[in-house]
Structures are given as C-alpha cells and as structure tokens.
Amino acid sequence: MEKCIACGSCAEKCPKKVDDPFNENLAKRKAIYVDYAQAVPLKYAINKDECIYFQKGKCRACEKLCPTKAINFEDKEEKVVLQAGAVILAAGFKPFDPSIFPTYQYTSFENVVTSIEYERILSATGPYQGHLARPSDHDKENKKEPRKIGWLQCVGSRDINKCDHPYCSSVCCMYAIKEATISKEHADYDLDTAIFFMDMRTYGKDFEKYYERAKEKGVRFVRTRLHTLEEDPVTKDITVRYVDEQGNIQVETFDMMVLSVGMETPKELVETAKNLGVAVDSDNFAETGIFTPVETSRKGIYVCGAFQEPKDIPYSVMEASAAACGAKEGLSSARGTLVKERTYPEETDVSFQEPKIGVFVCNCGINIGSVVDVPAVVEYARTLPGVSYVEEGLFVCSQDTQEKMKELIKKEGLNRVIVAACTPRTHEPLFQETLRDAGLNKYLFEMANIRNQCSWVHTKEKPEATEKAKDLVRMAAARAQLIQPLPQPTIGVDTKALVIGGGVSGMTAALGLAEQGFHTYLIEQSNRLGGNALMLSKTWRGDDIQAHLAEMISKVSAHSLIDVYTEATIKGATGFVGNYETTVSRNNEDTTLKHGAVIVAVGAEEFKPKEYLYGEDNRVMTHLELDEAMKKGEISGIKTAVFIQCVGSREPERPYCSKVCCTHTVKSALKLKEMDPEAKVYVIYRDIRTYGQREELYKEARDRGVIFIRYSLDGKPRVEKAGSAISVTIKDHILFRDIAINPDLVVLAAGIIPRDNNSLAQMFKLSLNEDGFFMEAHAKLRPVEFATDGIFLAGMAHYPKPIEESIAQAKAAASRASVVLSKETLTVEGVVSHVNEVLCRGCGKCVEACPFNAINLMEREDGRIVANVQEAMCKGCGSCSVACPTGAASIFHYDDQEVLTMVEAAFN
C-alpha cells in the first residue's frame, strides 16, 4: 500500500468491468479501484471476488503495468490488536432499501430512483457526468431530458405498516428541497419539480428560509401521500394519482420519481454493538440518555452520528467532537504520553546568499513521463537564471530520493529547491520536511504542478504539455529567486478557559473542560446557575430535568477547577487565541481574567406572544409557563385544552422554526391526557416537526386521542373571549368548516428568540446572523467554532435546540477548545501578513478587509495610529494587502513582487 501512488494505470488496463457501488451501480468501475477520487488514503485495491486472476488464475495485467510494483497478490487479511482507552462508534447508517414496497416498483421501474442514486446523477463525478438524464434512456440516442421530476417523502420513515420504522429520518425533507432546487438550477429549461410530503420538517438553522426560497423558485410542495406509482411501458414515464388538500383527485405524469429514502442501522452494526456490549433501542439506534447524548450503555464507549439517531451533518459533527470530549475526559492523564517530538538541525542562514536553485523533475512513473518530455524539461531548467542543479527522478517523493536530496542540498550548496511533480496540496509538506532535515528553512521550497494540472489533463497533447511543463518550471524558478526564509515563532498558551453563560450548555462546557484538567471560569449574569432549564419539567423521554439540573449545578459548584461568577457581566475583552484577557464586572468590581479560549453559551429566551389573548387571560400561557404551573401543581381539572403552534415562529418577521415547540407540545398534550384520559386536547399546527425518534411521541399522542388540526399562515386560529369563556375558532382542514372550541387552557407554543447579543459580539468580534443568533465558522463542518480562532459556540446562542443537542454541542465546544488549551505553545505560520509602519497611515481598510479579525489599529509611542497584525490569528489570505491603499500591508511568501514575477514569467 505504501508503494501505490494512485496513478490509476492499473485500473485503466484492468479488463474486468463491474458495477460501481459508489455510483449506486449506475456506472461501472474496474475490479481494481479506488472508492472515489477524493478517497483517503488514495490507494487502489483489488476486489478478490471480481478480479479475473483470483477467480480464474490468469491475468495479472495490473501487476505488469504498475510503475511502483505496488501490486501484491499475496496480501492477506490481518488481525490487528489495538490497545485503546476509549472507543467511539461512528459507523453511520444505511439508506433504506425501498424494494420491499410493491406499489413503488423500485426494482422494475427504471426511472424510479432513490435519493442517493439521484445525488450521484446530479454529481459531476457521477454516472452521467452531472447531466440530468434518466436511467432508462441516458445512453440512448433519443434520450429524454427530464422535464418533470417528483420526490416522494418518508420512504422507509414514519412507517410501521411495511417497514417497522416509526421514526422520522430527520434529513430527507431538506435533501429533497436541495435536490429539487439544484435540479432547477441545473436545467437550462423550465424544470417542473414537485415534492410530495406529509409534514415539511425544515427545523434546522436557516432551513426554513431555504424552504421559502425553494417555493419562490417554483418548487411545488404537495401535501399528500402517494400510494402507487405506475409506469408507461413505452415512454417509461411514471404516473401518479393522488388526492390533493382540497379533496380532488389529481393525475400527474413524471419523467422521473425520486424516493426520499430514510436512514436505518445496518444489521452488521447491530451485531457489532451486541459484541461490544452496547445496548441498542427498539429502532436499532445506540441507547443514550438526554443528559448523556454520546455515552452508550457501556462505560468508555461513545457514539456519534446517525447510529445514535438519524441526523444531519452539523449535528453529526457536533456529536463527533462531543464523543471525543467524552473520550478525552477519561484519558486526560495519558494526554501526550505517546507523542514523540521530532528534532531538526539548526537552520543555515541563507538570507545573504545568491539564489542557488536545485530543480528535481519527476516522472511519477509514467504519469508525467508518458506525456511530458521530462528530459527536455530538465534540459530547459538548466538554462534558467538562478538554477544551479537539475535532476530527473522516477519518483521524487520516494524515501531514497529524500535522502539524496538532503545530500545534494549540502553538497551543491543549494538554498532553494523546486520539485516539478504533482501538487503542493499533497506533497509540499513532505519536501519541506526534507529541507528542514537538510538545515534549510521550509519556505525556501517551491513546486511546479506538472502532473495534476498538466500531464493528467493534456494526455493527448504531448508537445503542448511539455511546453506547459517548461513554463510552469520557469514560473517556479522566477518566484524561487525571490522567496525568503520565514520565521515560525511560537507563542505561549494560557491553558485556562472562559465560558460565558451558566445554563445547561455553559455548565456542560465548563465540566467538559474541567474534567479534562483545564481551569475554567464560568460567567453567569443572573444570581444562579441553570438558565432556561430551571423552568422546564420533563424531557420528551420523561427524565426529570430538575433532578438532573441540580446534580449538574452541584458538580459545577464543587469542581476544584471551575470558578463560578454569578451576577457577573463581561465588560471588555482583548487578545487572541491562547492569550485572551477579559474584564468581568461583579458587584461593581472589575476583575481581569486571563485565558486561552472562550466558549459562548449565552442561550436564548422564550418569545412573549402579542396575540391570542396572551397577557389578557390567565388561561392563556406559554410552554414555559405551563411547565412552571405543572411543577407547582396548579394545572388540574382541565377538560379541554388547545395548543397553538408556531406562535412567533415561521412568520415574516421571524422566519425560522424554533425546533423544540412541536415536541414540547406533544409531550405536554400527552401529560394532560395522562392526567385525564377523557380530556379533549387539540393541537393547532402548521407542520408537526417531531423529528427523529420524537415522531414516536407524536404517534402516541394520536393514539391517545389528541386531535391535530392544521392551519396555514393565512388562516390563523382566532382566540376570543365569549363571556367568561374562551373561544378558539379554526377552519378544519378536512371539513373545510370553521369549528369552535371552548377550552379551559390555551397553550401557545411561543418561539425562541435570541438574547441581545450585540455587545458581546462586538467585544469578541463575532458575527450574528439575520435573526440575531451567533454565526458559526461553517454551517455544516465547523458548527461549534467561530471564524476567530480560540472562540467556540454552544447551545441556544447558536440556534434553538433541545437539551440533548445543547449538551452535545457544549461538549463539542469543550473538545474543540481543548485542542487549543492542550498545547503549551502555538506555532505561527510563516505565510502571514505584515504592515510597514512607515507607509501605514492608519486608515483601517485592512482591518475591514481581514476576515479573521487579525488586524487592529494601535497607537504608537509617537502618537501615530498604525495597523497591527496579530500573527497568531492571521491565515495568510492577503486580503489586507489588496485593501491597503499605500502598499504598507503585504503578505510574506505571496507578496506583490512574487506574484507579479510569476505572471511575467508565464509569458517569457
């Protein structure tokens, strides 16, 4: 495996074509293959069951062609025993197989595809190269571009009739909207897209806006359940009959029908869990608790992602970090004990030397050499100014070449090295290590990409590819004359953390850090810890929140590494990753705390409704008020109750879903039914969003006789006083008639609104989204980090979410923060910005341009205002140098002269 350079020659020549499972068997691959182009590690493998040699004893074509002799037919399966202190299960899910539904005919109707197949169809690296085409005729001459595509939701989810999956798969509504939207963007004609759904569950951050935008773009949303798909035997079109919301029968014909398949745990994973002694629930997901969302039933084994419960990418990423936090808490005493530190010889000072460039041109086996005339490039390189040594290599990245390169650097006195080979994105670090081992600064290195961006993409144009390779080497050599050694200073890290907010998220984050051994300051503005959870009674799984909360508070208060500051506010903050100073004000007294990382967990609050008689009649209350009244035993003798959903949510002025209210309502409705099974309980809703396994609670509520009545924004319920009684009027969505209810309790599912986060955002230079919630660095992949290094985000300050998700995110934030805090020093990269103070006039353009808040203005001793770069925060993007009107700001390693020289050299 070490020898494979992923050149692909083997797969090119392999005579055996087989179905490609990565492309959902819609395309072919060879018996020797990589799963997909971005696979890590990028190494080819042989499928024994498909390989002609293994099956028939003859062939071995790949072995003959492999330039690095990487093919090993004798390779055997190995059993490896690993010693580990913790285990994390992140084994994911299997898309539901819809073959079992006779009425959808997935296996026989060619143009009925699963959503995963459709993802591949849309992908540029997919079976049809990203062209919108139908499986039935994509390879035919008279192929039909699909003009009309339908999506059928909840296939294998929310279904106990055929497939025993009572849960909602949580992600299908969003991906169906995404696929429909992308398809419309993709088609250069008016593509008709329709999504057939039961409840539209766009409950995540910014999801509701995405749904609204899709409607604006013309994606049709049809609330119905398709029972049967029919195929035209000639055209292979799919016809459906359904009843629309008005009760009329509709018949539509589609070119393609996509089945939005849900998630399920693969059987083998259930078996693995059993072998590990990890309990799974009735839906085959790992059993976890609301307050321990990533801990399995077995101590030391953690779970994250869809094996815990169906979930999307951001929450899988959060749980992954949370599981890491759990593992690190248990292993903190062993942290760093297996780390071996590497040493390098002292760097030779070459700053006053004339450039002596060594050029190594790689053949990469035949990957470059078969297209580019490598000897000609070598000869050409010898003629370039500054170049004093040139060598050709079969594989310049091989270990023996590294040794040789080190010797040559010393022997020939080289002070710049160029490797003309593959891409710096994969190989620059390797060669930079070689330079460091030879006593050269790692920035004295340059690459010319003559494989990925030359020989591989111009295979038929050999002379032109050779010319291009020469040009690329010339450009590299021109730049190499200018590059300079750069320092990589280290800065100290303060290993303490600051957590802002003393609710469930803040306390979880503080405990996560303290359990890992990091001293933590926990700041709470009110006079007690607990936050919103103080007002809640039970979780949707029935746990007593107050008991858990009390335990958490006592743990935090007693922890020797947590300093709690109640009735405290943040007055100001300065510093950067590893070195923050924050001023905390308490009892009119200011304290300055020094710390290396910050976790923002300031929470959010319940919206105070302005409609439905709220505040005018004490029988009308919000969820938190109901919970509080229930805790005090004030709710009794309720005969008729009405819950109204989306109060203050999903409205034009607050266009987001508050995520927790549907489940809260269903749970409270069940509680009322439990208190009096004869009580009439009505839920007036728009979509019931009991995602994941919360769906089972929704089903239970219907079973127990809770009546669900749907409304739309243009037909909101009316709540009025009728004498001493309350009257709720709503148009029933089945009868199309107004019905009036006289409840003795009206519960408003009031949305969740952000706190006033502006001043905190300004102090720490953080961004807020349009709705006022804090904005993470990346919605999918960095959900607990801010764009500014060393600051992390958790809980409802990010977006409304239930306790289990707040805890997972808080543990994730603690985990990410510990990455900073566990280092004694931070190494600053050499490619950073710097400001020439003589030229700087302190206009602040660079401060505005910097996306990482790495630049601020400071007053010099002589009183002049100049820009100051905090190198530890600089990512070297160079935006400042473009914004700077005087040329004071520039970027090491990519300064104007270096780039302009390359531009010029491109044409010589």
Phi then psi dihedrals of residue 621, to 5 deg: -145, 165
Please state, in angstroms and rounded to a whole number, the distance separating the CA atoms of residues 381 and 389: 9
Which residues, 6+ apart, have CB-to-CB distance to 894 below 8 Å? 831, 876, 878
Q: Which residues between 140 and 199 bind another protein (CB under 8 A)?
A: none
Rounded CA-CA distance 619/635 in Å is 10
Residue whose tokens read 């990469």 = 364
Quick one: which H or E segment has residue 154? strand 148-155
Q: Are the C-beta atoms of residues 816 and 781 closer than 8 Å to each other?
A: no
Among 285, 445, 456, 580, binds another protein (CB under 8 A): 456
Among 831, 839, 847, 857, binds another protein (CB under 8 A): 831
Q: Is 386 in the site for another protein (CB under 8 A)?
A: no
Query: Binding another protein by CB under 8 A: which of 184, 236, 451, 834?
Result: 451
Q: Which region, judged by CB under 8 A, interacts with another protein, from 300-308, 315-323, 728-736, 888-896?
A: 888-896
851 binds another protein (CB under 8 A): yes
Contact 598, 497 (CB under 8 A): yes
For residues 146 and 134, give the distance between their C-alpha atoms in angstroms, rounded to a whole number.
7
- Contact (Cβ atoms closer than 8 angstroms) between residue 690 and residue 663: yes
Q: Which stretch binds another protein (CB under 8 A): 292-300, 467-475, 677-685, 742-750?
A: 467-475
Radius of gyration of the chain (CA): 32
Residue closer to another protein, measured from CB, 423 or 762: 423
Per-residue burial over 348-386, b if 16 or more Cβ lie within 10 Å, else e, is: bebeeeebbbbbbbbbbbebbbbbbbbeebbebbeebeb
* 460 touching another protein, by CB under 8 A: yes
Beta strands, E only, 394-532: 416-421, 445-449, 490-492, 497-500, 520-523
467 interacts with another protein by CB under 8 A: yes
363 or 649: CB nearest another protein? 363
Cα four-point dihedral sign 727, 729, 732, 735: positive
* Number of C-beta neighbours around residue 735 at 10 A: 9
Q: Which stretch binds another protein (CB under 8 A): 178-186, 435-443, 682-690, 893-901?
A: 893-901
Shorter beta-carbon distance to another protein: residue 759 or 897:
897
Residue 453 lies near another protein (rule: CB under 8 A): yes
> Residue 62 or residue 510: which is nearer to another protein going by CB?
62
> Which is closer to another protein, CB of 179 or CB of 898?
898
Number of Cβ within a 10 Å radius of residue 813: 36
3-state SS assignment for residue 256: strand
> Per the omega criterion (within 30 degrees of 0), is the bond before 754 cis?
no
Q: Name the 3-class secondary structure at 178.
A: helix
- Contact status: 788 vs another protein (CB under 8 A): no
By beta-carbon proximity to another protein, the closer residue of 623 and 893 is: 893
By beta-carbon proximity to another protein, the closer residue of 757 and 901 is 901
Number of residues that bind another protein (CB under 8 A): 48
Q: In the numeric block, which tokens belong to residue 898? A: 């270096």
Nearest distance, CB of residue 449 and another protein, angstroms: 7
Q: Given the complex with another protein, which of 473 and 646 has the nearer CB atom?
A: 473
Considering beta carbons, is residue 740 or 882 the nearer one to another protein?
882
- By CB under 8 A, is residue 882 in contact with another protein? yes
Examine residue 464 and tell whether it contacts another protein (CB under 8 A): yes
Report whether 286 contacts 308 (CB < 8 A): yes
Q: Quick check: 881 binds another protein (CB under 8 A)?
A: yes
Residues within window 311-370 making contact with another protein, judged by CB under 8 A: none
Q: Which of 107, 459, 762, 827 binds another protein (CB under 8 A)?
A: 459
The one among 72, 125, 490, 886 contacting another protein by CB under 8 A: 125
CA distances from 709 to 275, 673, 733, 778 (A): 46, 17, 7, 38
CB of 300 to another protein, least distance (A): 37
Q: How far is the CB of 882 from another protein (least distance, A)?
A: 5
The residues near 605 (Cβ < 8 Å, ≥ 6 apart) are: 532, 752, 753, 755
CB of 472 to another protein, least distance (A): 7
Range 278-307, binding another protein (CB under 8 A): none
Question: Near another protein by CB under 8 A, which window of 498-506, 744-752, 808-816, 876-884?
Answer: 876-884
Q: Which is nearer to another protein, 34 or 794 (CB)?
A: 34
The residues in 405-424 that bind another protein, with binding defined as CB under 8 A, are 423-424
Note whether 689 and 657 are within 8 A (CB): yes
Alpha-carbon distance 851 to 847, whole Å? 9
Rounded distance between C-alpha atoms, residue 605 and residue 595, angstroms: 28
The region of 576-584, 587-595, 679-687, 891-899 touching another protein under the rule CB under 8 A is 891-899
Residue 740 near residue 592 (C-beta atoms within 8 A): no
Of 94, 91, 89, nearest to 276 by C-alpha is 89
Map residue 392 onto helix, strand or coil. Answer: strand
- Residue 38 is a binding residue for another protein (CB under 8 A): yes
**Looking at beta carbons only, is 72 or 426 nearer to another protein?**
426
| Selected binder of another protein within 172, 454, 797, 866 (CB under 8 A) | 454
Reference 745, options 814, 703, 801, 683; nearest CA is: 683
Candidates 891, 907, 738, 902; CA nearest to 829 is 891
Pick the closer one to another protein by CB: 6 or 359.
6
Q: What is the smallest separation between the CB atom of 819 and another protein, expressed in angstroms?
A: 20
Strand partners for 563: 521
| Shorter beta-carbon distance to another protein: residue 189 or 907 | 907
Looking only at the bridges linking them, the beta strands covering 301-303 and 87-89 are parallel
Q: Using the structure block, give the residue that is written with the tokens 């990091």.
A: 518
Residues in 469-498 at the binding interface with another protein, rule: CB under 8 A: 471-472, 475
Q: Which of 176, 180, 465, 752 binds another protein (CB under 8 A)?
A: 465
Which lies closer to another protein via its Cβ, residue 334 or residue 906?
906
Per CB under 8 A, 548 contacts another protein: no
- Select from 141-149, 468-476, 491-499, 809-817 the region that touches another protein (CB under 8 A): 468-476
The least distance separating another protein from the CB of residue 458, rounded to whole angstroms, comes to 4
- Report the residue number, 85 or 851, with the smaller CB distance to another protein: 851
Q: What is the DSSP letter of 68?
A: T
Given 52, 122, 849, 865, the residue binding another protein (CB under 8 A): 849
- Counting contacts by CB under 8 A, is residue 899 touching another protein? yes
- 59: contact with another protein by CB under 8 A: no
- Number of DSSP helices (H) and strands (E) in the chain, helices first: 22, 44
CB 4 to another protein: min, Å: 14
Looking at beta carbons only, is 462 or 555 nearer to another protein?
Answer: 462
Instruction: Give me the least distance between CB of 712 and another protein, in Å please.
Output: 41
> Smallest Cα–Cα separation from 388: which of 350, 357, 352, 353?
357
Nearest of 260, 230, 9, 239 to residue 115 by alpha carbon: 260
In the complex, least distance from residue 876 CB atom to another protein, rounded to whole angstroms = 5
| DSSP-assigned letters across all residues of 830-879 | SS-EEE-TTT-----HHHHH-TT--EEEEE-TTS-EEEEE-TTT-----H
Question: Does residue 458 bind another protein (CB under 8 A)?
Answer: yes
Tokens of 707: 């009546």
Q: How far is the CB of 462 from another protein (least distance, A)?
A: 10
Q: Which residues lie near another protein (CB under 8 A)?
A: 6, 8, 37-38, 42, 125, 423-426, 449, 451-454, 456-461, 464-465, 467-468, 471-472, 475, 831, 849, 851, 875-879, 881-882, 891, 894, 896, 899-900, 902-904, 906-907
